[in-house]
Structure 1
């Protein structure tokens, strides 16, 4: 792979803020032409001559934009795009197909592979620079939001760190929620949302006074009114994130009950988002089997009995059956 840093300082050290563009074409002259067109942008430009070389380069040092030729010997651009978008490190990287293909079916194929945009050969310099600038700004926004998401996760973990009795609670709830979501047929981005949402479902407890949050005994009526504010506080905390809608559905509604007696909105049945119904079961089970300052955790069977008794009133009956029959049984088999 060839690389060039137009904005490097002496010594060849790349500025941390400089974005990376990866050019992928089996014809070196095409890469050289695009590199020349991009000289006006403050970015690192590197190139790869094959699909395999492009994937190796992208996974080793994730780019902020990929300009990808569709027709290459060996692994073509469509397959490269699919693999980039399927990877955790490059799934948000914009990919532009640079191609001489004009048929509608080829463009549909590129979109199905995950391409974000197209450029037709011969490439116009002004069009290339304009689109590259737009997509690099978009990627920078994604990166800022990803950073915000990591901050939210760290904050959620500080809630657990306050109380040794709830340590690792959210990690267990996230793992079991993802497993139950798979059983319920959720896929792709929905699985990612529920795993992250379950991990931060109690982040609103940051706004609850320690005197209430860490009280070594049952809460009184006034304290419960304070504690019940945490879903609303949590939904507000995650509002700036790009997937705030999916996260808020979990955080705000994981204490709703299917009979309509939960909080904060007294939703009932299918009015409660599926993701919140899933997390509610996993959260409830883990809370029951965990020790608290004022009680010992219940046994697995005791917790299962409570779930069954509450199926159809507290929790979604079908999901309770799936949780007991699939998620818990798999966990027990792994422990044997």
Structure 2
């Protein structure tokens, strides 16, 4: 396992476009398509691997790339005012649902049928974009949950990366004895981190098969295995205060805070998604310490062997007010038509 340039975050597509209003703007015979993305991207990488190649192959369309601060909030405001870009990037399929009843999202079902997108995407990922009989989003990234840890700290203390509950709790107790927080994480700036932890404990205590049965209505969320999962999370985060020192601290930490703790050796481990590789590279480069990652420990026999919670991350939708839906569909189809291209684009995000 590498601690540099590691990118398990399997990005289907990651890009950005200019803040020039809701509709594609025509300049002569060239149509400009606007797409906003997160502000942490490597814009040079995106231009080199995505924008420039697309523009060269499609001389009648020009992509304009502009990262946005607080993308989700900015996009919501722009949609309400009629100033949103042509391509809409959101943190997941569920985030686009709020705009459907207002008629702000373009139905991609016709384009999907024409270009065979259902065959190009994982079935469950394709289906996640179907709402009220239409296709309103497609995956931008795929992500999983992992255990990140301070490798320098582990080696200095002779700790072994935990693979089960007993080993996990032993490392946590050893860290406490050394005056180190066993884990760090926080929800300031992004409250869905709470859901990350609940998902981790459900899958690694109750087990993925039981979680699936509950999702399709074959089991109740009040069954003992789910109660056990939530009880264990409560013990670790609230009773033991293993995440940053206390439950109150967890609710006060943001991205920069918990990465500073982990990279400086104030905390030993972090349960996070594969998007965390970006933070690990940045903060550990600054601290001079080393990091590594491993599968999440299995907390019960129900969970079986290691499991990776594969899910979509960000998703792409189309503004219903775009003046050039055909050009927008051309962009999306180009992105999905070459797996090697997708991986090349993703290579700068680790």
Q: TM-score range by the shorter chain?
A: under 0.3
More helix, by proportion? 1
Task: Give 1 or 2 for the bigger CA radius of gyration.
Answer: 1
Q: With structure 1 as the length reference, what TM-score do the two structures score?
A: 0.25
TM-score calculated relative to the size of structure 2: 0.24
Question: Hey, which of these two has a bigger chunk of strand by percent?
Answer: 2
Q: Greater relative contact order: 1 or 2 (C-alpha under 8 angstroms, separation 6 or more)?
A: 2
